[in-house]
Structure 1
Amino acid sequence: MRVGLTYDLRDDYRALGGFSETALAEFDSPETIDALAGALAANGCTVERIGHIRSLTQRLVAGERWDLVFNICEGIAGRNREAQVPALLEAYGIPYVFSDPLTLSVTLDKAVAKRLVREAGLPTAPFAVIESDADARNCTLPFPVFVKPLAEGTGKGCERASKANDRKALVAAARSLRARFNQPAIAETFLPGREFTVGIVGNGAAARIVAVMEILLLQNAEPEVYSFENKELCESRVEYRLADDAEARAAGDIALAAYRTLGCRDGGRLDLRSDANAVPQFLEVNPLAGLHPTHSDLPILAGLAGMDYQSLIGEILQAAKLRTGVAAQARRRRRIPA
């Protein structure tokens, strides 16, 4: 099966100039693309590296097509940036791995995702969207609150100052985030409990939990928050541990229900944190979870659960093949005589 691989490589954008290292944080390293291409090949695919959306556009216009595209493009601008490649592929009738444009747009905007999850009856912390200093001054959430950008990933904007203990700190933190990321901030009631991330593969009723992983910050980490800096330095600042007690199982159940509610496909990762009563609360979902084999949370938790990288990519690929009918089409083609 001929599989195209779409991705945003940090080095490509770094060469263009004008991008800070923070802006590049969600993009992929050559190690990730090499590992992913190798895992796809090991799962029987003929892999063609395409790259970012402009490369994809050029190749589509030139008439190139693929049986399936394994898409991990994050995009560079706007809250619909993750939806751009899937929308383009749909316009050309090419099936692809992972979620569709609607889900990718909905889940990148944390407030929209939380509203849908809340509407489904799932627990998520009270929140407010902060678009101005006035919004911050009028926020009715009890302190402390946690403030982060509305539509970012990889922990960008999550930092020591994100925990605001009073009105002055909230105004300052939200103002700083709006200026740096050119988007609204979201404030949530601060959750003091355990932090979990849940890996899921599959679709609909067949979707399953790979594992629930607890995130434990070491003494040298920024306290109380799985921040951008802690994530980047996770090898020395974070302990990852599988969790299977009642609270962790509840986190897994909530994550799986949210995954289905939001229409996630093929695989993803959801973040939760418990409140003061040890009740896990939905934080956000990453339907394009990082896939670096040793540095990204989904492969880390899969490895702790006994699933190697090749098998993880194989399960995601198989889920997409079944969903799109690509596997059946390939079988039919093999039966047609030359």
Structure 2
Amino acid sequence: MSQFDSKIGKVAVLMGGASAEREVSLMSGQGVLQALRSRGIDAHAFDPSLRDLGELRKEGFERCFIALHGRHGEDGTVQGALELLGIPYTGSGVMASSVAMDKVMTKRVWSAEGLPTPKYVWLAPDQQERVRVRTVPDELGLPLIVKPPREGSSIGVTKVMGYSQMQDAVQLSARYDPDVLCEEFIEGEEVTCPVLGEGASAHALPVIRILAPEGAYDYQNKYFTDDVKYQCPSGLPEAEEREIQRIVLASYRSLGCRGWGRADLMIRASDRKPFLLEMNTSPGMTSHSLVPMSARAAGISYEELCVRVLLSASLDHRLLPGAPA
């Protein structure tokens, strides 16, 4: 019997799903599944796009490791279903997942908290006609970034260099999300920083520097090539690394995240100021993924990381002692 059996019980690793990131989720999920099994945990694959979530309770699952990415995976919907089923799950709760999945809402929270994030223009479906779209570069400058606010893995993202590209960029983004986010482009270095834990006990892991060919840190380069180079330890000055970790922790706590997450940032070349881009509440766990890389630099193996995240599984509404059942 494993040392974890009595404490953890039967575990479902939720993977696949129906989002545009299904392929990546399957890779993440298989990695997590093998890691948990290697530690003697009774873990099983479960694809919510192929099976009803209600089967989790019928089959006696006691915890879920969410290795889903994108919609219906990290946007609060699966989290809400698991709350109703009463099955503890990894990562952030319903509200934090929902807000963090929407980059516009995330930026609103961060701006209200005084945290640095690039300027942006939100184009609702009725604001995407050519006349309006052509004015966006006047507000944000060029180049700028156009992306769907509720997708991940750089899907549907365009770096716009001139006015003539705007309409095509908006149309591409709108294929993935009715709303479109246009964002000031920050010239500089891209970094990412994971977080483990909750509330006051949450702590940032080492920062990773991302060196992509010609700055093309896109879906293909993220998952299917070895062209992107990563530096961890980052090699940044110690004060810079500490400041990034401070901002990331503040951004994580401001959204109410728990369990684990990973913030992506840009460091502006002109003044070395960091800007928050997004918070991932169900980060990738593939062979190319960044949380395992950062954890390794902190002396945490992939298997140990998976177990730590699983042990943090919880519910938003844990029954308080003495409360009526």
Q: TM-score range by the shorter chain?
A: 0.7 to 0.9
Shift in Å at residue 146 of structure 1?
A: 1.3
Letter in 1 for 2:198: N
Partner of 1:302: 295
| TM-aligned CA distance change 1:214 to 1:234, over 3 Å | farther
**TM-score, reference length from structure 2:** 0.83
Letter in 2 for 1:69: C
Spell out the pairing of 1:228-267 with structure 2 (5 A cutoff). 228-243=219-234, 244-245=236-237, 246-267=239-260
Shift in Å at residue 310 of structure 1?
A: 1.1
Alpha-carbon contact 1:299-1:309 (below 8 Å) kept = yes
Alpha-carbon contact 1:268-1:286 (below 8 Å) kept = yes
- Given candidates 118, 124, 140, the residue that maps to 1:125 is 118
Bigger fraction of residues in helix: 1
Residue deviations 1:222-260 (CA, integer Å, cap 9, x gap): x22422222134423333332242223222111111011
CA RMSD of aligned residues (A): 2.7
Spell out the pairing of 1:46-65 with structure 2 (5 A cutoff). 46-52=42-48, 55-60=51-56, 63-65=58-60
2:280 is the counterpart of 1:290: no
Spell out the pairing of 1:74-89 with structure 2 (5 A cutoff). 74=69, 82-89=75-82
Alpha-carbon contact 1:52-1:73 (below 8 Å) kept = no
Runs of 4 or more, structure 1, over 6 Å off, are: 321-326
Shift in Å at residue 154 of structure 1?
A: 1.2
Secondary structure at 1:98's aligned position in 2? coil
- Given candidates 96, 114, 117, the residue that maps to 1:103 is 96
| TM-aligned CA distance change 1:64 to 1:267, over 3 Å | same
> Which deviates further from its counterpart, 243-252 or 261-270?
243-252
Secondary structure at 1:28's aligned position in 2? helix
Alpha-carbon contact 1:151-1:183 (below 8 Å) kept = no
- Given candidates 14, 37, 41, the residue that maps to 1:7 is 14
2:180 is the counterpart of 1:185: yes
Shift in Å at residue 279 of structure 1?
A: 0.5
Secondary structure at 1:125's aligned position in 2? coil
- State the alpha-carbon separation in 2 of the partners of residues 209 and 43 from structure 1: 25
- State the alpha-carbon separation in 2 of the partners of residues 73 and 322 from structure 1: 17
- State the alpha-carbon separation in 2 of the partners of residues 37 and 239 from structure 1: 25
- State the alpha-carbon separation in 1 of the partners of residues 199 and 208 from structure 2: 22
Alpha-carbon contact 1:273-1:282 (below 8 Å) kept = yes
Alpha-carbon contact 2:101-2:150 (below 8 Å) kept = yes
- Given candidates 164, 170, 183, the residue that maps to 1:168 is 164
Secondary structure at 2:142's aligned position in 1? coil
- State the alpha-carbon separation in 1 of the partners of residues 170 and 33 from structure 2: 40
- State the alpha-carbon separation in 1 of the partners of residues 10 and 203 from structure 2: 25
Secondary structure at 2:53's aligned position in 1? helix
Spell out the pairing of 1:192-203 with structure 2 (5 A cutoff). 192-203=187-198
Residue deviations 1:236-295 (CA, integer Å, cap 9, x gap): 333333224222322211111101111111111110002232100000011000112x21
2:217 is the counterpart of 1:226: yes
Shift in Å at residue 26 of structure 1?
A: 4.2
Alpha-carbon contact 1:65-1:94 (below 8 Å) kept = no
Alpha-carbon contact 1:215-1:238 (below 8 Å) kept = yes
- State the alpha-carbon separation in 1 of the partners of residues 271 and 23 from structure 2: 34
- State the alpha-carbon separation in 2 of the partners of residues 81 and 269 from structure 1: 13
Letter in 1 for 2:153: T
Letter in 2 for 1:143: L
Shift in Å at residue 299 of structure 1?
A: 1.2
Residue segments in structure 2 that go unaligned for 5+ positions in a row: 1-7, 320-325
Letter in 2 for 1:224: G
Alpha-carbon contact 1:7-1:74 (below 8 Å) kept = no
Residue segments in structure 1 that go unaligned for 5+ positions in a row: 14-18, 327-338
- State the alpha-carbon separation in 1 of the partners of residues 70 and 120 from structure 2: 26
Partner of 2:322: none
Alpha-carbon contact 1:268-1:288 (below 8 Å) kept = yes
Alpha-carbon contact 1:194-1:214 (below 8 Å) kept = yes
Letter in 1 for 2:61: W
Spell out the pairing of 1:30-69 with structure 2 (5 A cutoff). 32-43=28-39, 45-52=41-48, 55-60=51-56, 63-69=58-64
- State the alpha-carbon separation in 2 of the partners of residues 75 and 195 from structure 1: 21
Alpha-carbon contact 1:83-1:104 (below 8 Å) kept = yes
Secondary structure at 1:174's aligned position in 2? helix
Partner of 2:275: 281
Using the aligned pairs only, state the percent identity. Answer: 28
Secondary structure at 1:52's aligned position in 2? coil
